[in-house]
Amino acid sequence: MRSISVVVTGDTAAATDVRSLVGDWTRAGITEPSLWVRPADLHTESQPAQVFGSVVTADGEEQVDLFAHLGRFRLNTIRVVVAQLAAAGDEADPAVSAVGARVADMIRSALPRRPSGEEQTRLHRTLLLVPASDVAGVDPRILLPAWEANVVISPEDRPDLDHSSVLVRPATNYAGHAAAAVSAAAGLVRGVHEGVFDRVTADSSTRPEDVVVARVAIRTVVGEDVLDVITRRVLDPDSLTPNGPGQVVTWANPATEPGAVIHRATRTLLTAHEWAPSPAIDLDEPGQEREQAAGAITRAARFNLRTVAAVAAWSFSRGRDTADRIATDRLVGEGAGTVVTVGPRALGRMTDITEGILEAERARLEESVTYEATRGAPPAPSTWSKVRHLCFALADGGEMDGMDAPRQLGLREVLAPQHVAPSPGAAYKTPGGELIEATDPPAMWAYLEDLEDSLRARMTEAAELRSRRDDLERLQPSSPSTEGAVGPPSGSAGTETDEAVARADHSAVDVVVPSTSADAADAGDRALWEAERRQVHERLQALEARVDEAEAALAAFREWFEGVSTSVLWQVGDDVSRRLGECAAGRRAYREHRDVTAPASQELDAAKKRLLRRWWFTSILNLLALGILALDVSQQETRDWRDIGMWASGIVLVTLVLLIGANHAFYKAFRKYEWQVANALAEQRNRAARYLWEAKEHDRLNVLYQGWRDWTAVISEVLHRPWQPPARRFDDLPDEVVDKLPAAMAVARQEREHAELPATLVVPAYQAIYEEGWAQQAFDEAYEVFAHEAMLVASTGYLDVDVDAAATELSPRGQLVTLWRSGKARKLLADRRAERLRDLAADGGLQLPMRRVQRVGAHSDEQWREELDYFAAIATSDTTFALDAFGPVAQTQNRHYASHVTAWLPRAAHAHAAEAKGSTVSLMEAEGATAVRVDLSRRLAPQELTIFTTPVDGRQAKAKTTEHHDAFL
């Protein structure tokens, strides 16, 4: 909103009629909403004084606080128009002027000012006196000498400027005459965004008490013109379904194989480093070691030496266990809660050692993983800018990064909006009322799977019922004999019926068949068969209806699913959500199975036992052999100590060899167990590393997924509905409103509506709106306004919405989503595109067909004429003001001549009007199908106008009349 006008009137009946009539015009679309103040609305008992006003709109009137209402808008101009309505000479009230002056002073004190003292909002004040014909004796004190304009509306009402005035009569056209003057002065006429007296102001050459005489003429055409129809059609995105703008522009064609372009674009995005999976971790796998023979022998020898001590410790520990049990039993007794030991002992279980090692490693990894898993970096700003630019380029033919532009036969191919992004707010409503959004791929897949499972279950149940029905038909019992014959013998039909009854489910009705006669048994069997067959048939019919219902539901959802899932952005989001689910499942699996158990030590324990047995067996054999040798030596009379030494050395050597063999066997078992422990440690580290990677990847994908949802909402809005068509405005007027129009306010209707528009007219309009890069341009325009209002500064070189990692409703990205979803961006862009079409039509780039119009009402000449002629007529005549408003001196000085004439015409009528316009007429631009003209006199002193003079009494008037007739005779 650029300006607001405050109209101050009295509380007279004429003021009420004028405001009511302006309200009717507002509802008809001729005038804009207005703000009215009466003396009763000024409350001086409070300090500061409080002013109320009535806002008149198409929906009615609303009482507001004046200053609260003005404070809602950033305004260029505020007009205060004091309307003194003088249908009779005594109706103009100086008190109304005083109220207007008080309101104007209060508004001036509240205006915003720059540090230099200059007012940022201009205040223009107009005193408007609207007399009826032959009104005189108006109190000059109603004038406000310090104001920018004191204007007297000439008491004339002409159907055309070169037609005679129909005069201004209180009972007929005064209210319309005054309403037209007030609307023009306050800038309320639709399409003319300034007051006709905005340029009237006092200067050094004027006297404060001077007034100007003005005459206002208005012309408008109700109903939609051709440009309105074109604008509404071109700015309606639904008019381009299903192929989008590619079908109406000359620089591109719709893609012949959209699936191939979609696949390539999706792959381009998903292979970019911002969207591709993070590099996989390097698993810690113990490798095979290469060892020299000498080193291996030395290592084995050292182990064998340590094994000797270990065997001694293990042997001693076994004895210590027995000693501990005996000591405990003798000293404190069993069950006393104390174990008595006889000294230190060696650790004999490798599992305990391994568990300790794994637990220590687990604690170290847990602390590291818990901290590092919560650390993450925000996505690069290019993550969102690349997606945005590529999606826009796919639809608007702009420049592409990272992908070759699709071309066919040298012409650019573009995708339809639905192939790039789902429709804004696209969702599927389930029979239960649940909404499944197109930006929730996991929910879509889950619902599709539920529908398929439900259909399969119902079809399986139906197949079982059909099988039961076929069995019943095959086992149908025979009919009872009509001749009283005995029923079928036992084991034939009766047996088959019994079998059918046995196969019946729990819902079948149990019937006891009497055995008194064969016919009675047959009748009972058949009744049972009929009941079961009827029950199965009814259940099958109900189930088949449910199957049909499930098939219809599945087909409907699949159709919606396929229409949504073919878009580029949906496939990107589906891939991200799938990977996000996999990472979440991996994290759950780690938490459930993160502990790596120690490798089984049964083989090592068995090797240890074998080692001990071999040691004890070998040692016993060694001692036995040495004992036998000693016994043999003791019985010898002559001892060959050399021979004895050789035998003893041999026994010891054989013993050592056997013990070394036993030690080495245990060494190999130990090395194998050591390798298992190393693999267990590596597995534990790998699980922790895998969890850490999945945790970081999960957080990264979660941020990507949330950002994808927000940007999908914005991109879909830009592509599917970048602008909205203006509302259809067929501003027809009721007959009772037409009857109250003054002669100087011409309203015409067009000959016919433009329902069908030729392609030669529509295509240039589409071309002007859908230029190459139209989507990117629309986003940039809306973002520029958004950034200005939100005071965003792209200090990093990227847009603030691209670096936004918070993604809340109040963050830059959240506000941008709200901007587009609220429709504010669409409204802004629609207004700018409508202005572009108006400029194109004015410059001749859009050749509009001329409408034929006819004026309506009592002053119509019932002639059809071209629209340009209808508007141009308002600027072609130089007509003086009515003489009865000016005194003799003013007439002698030609003050009744128009000094300044300004006509606001639709731009298309300017050239046509310039050829025949009057010499004093200045042409200004108006929007839409409305024209306004104002004629201004030179400045005059109030006493030069008859309305401020005191009329003579009746006798003087009669004497002057007689004298005049005598002179005439």
- Residue type at position 842: A
- The order of strands in the sheet holding 407-408 is 252-254, 411-414, 407-408
* 795 backbone dihedrals φ, ψ, rounded to 5°: -75, -20
- 156 vs 884: CA distance, rounded Å: 9
Q: Is this model's pTM higher than 0.75 or not?
A: no
- How confident is the model over 480-501, as a mean pLDDT? 42
The per-residue pLDDT of the chain, averaged, comes to 81
Query: Would strands 745-750 and 212-222 be described as parallel, antiparallel, or unpaired?
Result: parallel
- 324 vs 427: CA distance, rounded Å: 77
55 contacts 62 by C-beta, under 8 angstroms: yes
- Please say if the pLDDT value at position 99 is more than 60: yes
- 481 vs 495: CA distance, rounded Å: 18
Strand partners, 182: none
> Of the candidates 19, 29, 612, which has an alpha carbon nearest to the alpha carbon of residue 316?
612
Q: What Rg, from alpha-carbon coordinates, does the chain have? A: 51
224-265 pLDDT, tens digit each: 777 888 888 899 988 888 888 988 898 999 999 999 999 999
- Angle between helix axes 774-790 and 824-842 (nearest 10 degrees) is 120
> Of the candidates 39, 48, 45, 29, which has an alpha carbon nearest to the alpha carbon of residue 7?
39
> Of the candidates 927, 932, 933, which has an alpha carbon nearest to the alpha carbon of residue 900?
933
191 contacts 926 by C-beta, under 8 angstroms: yes
Number of C-beta neighbours around residue 629 at 10 A: 15
- How confident is the model over 408-436, as a mean pLDDT? 91
Residue with the larger pLDDT of the pair 796 and 814 = 814
795 contacts 787 by C-beta, under 8 angstroms: no
- Please say if the pLDDT value at position 485 is more than 70: no
- 529 vs 383: CA distance, rounded Å: 71
HSE at residue 127, side-chain half, CA atoms within 13 A, is 27
- Residue type at position 237: P
What tokens does 938 get?
A: 């030179």
423 contacts 563 by C-beta, under 8 angstroms: no
545-587 pLDDT, tens digit each: 999 999 999 999 999 999 999 999 999 999 999 988 888 787 6
What string of H, E and C letters represents the secondary structure of 856-906? Answer: CCCCCCCCCEEHHHHHHHHHCCCCCCCHHHECHHHHHCCCCCCCEEEEEEE
Distances 723 to 48, 209, 240, 889 between C-alpha atoms, Å: 45, 52, 13, 60
Confidence of residue 340 (pLDDT cuts 50, 70, 90): very low
820-851 pLDDT, tens digit each: 999 999 999 999 999 898 888 877 788 777 78
- 588 vs 690: CA distance, rounded Å: 12
- 599 vs 182: CA distance, rounded Å: 98
649-690 pLDDT, tens digit each: 888 888 888 888 887 887 777 777 777 777 777 777 777 777
What's the confidence (pLDDT) of residue 471? 85
DSSP 897-933: S-SEEEEEEEGGGHHHHHTT--TTEEEEEE-SSEEEE
- 856 vs 863: CA distance, rounded Å: 10
- Please say if the pLDDT value at position 967 is more than 50: no
Distances 493 to 38, 479, 488, 496, 498 between C-alpha atoms, Å: 104, 10, 6, 5, 8
- 184 vs 192: CA distance, rounded Å: 9
386-413 pLDDT, tens digit each: 999 999 999 999 998 888 999 988 899 9
318-337 pLDDT, tens digit each: 554 555 555 455 444 555 44
- Residue type at position 943: Q
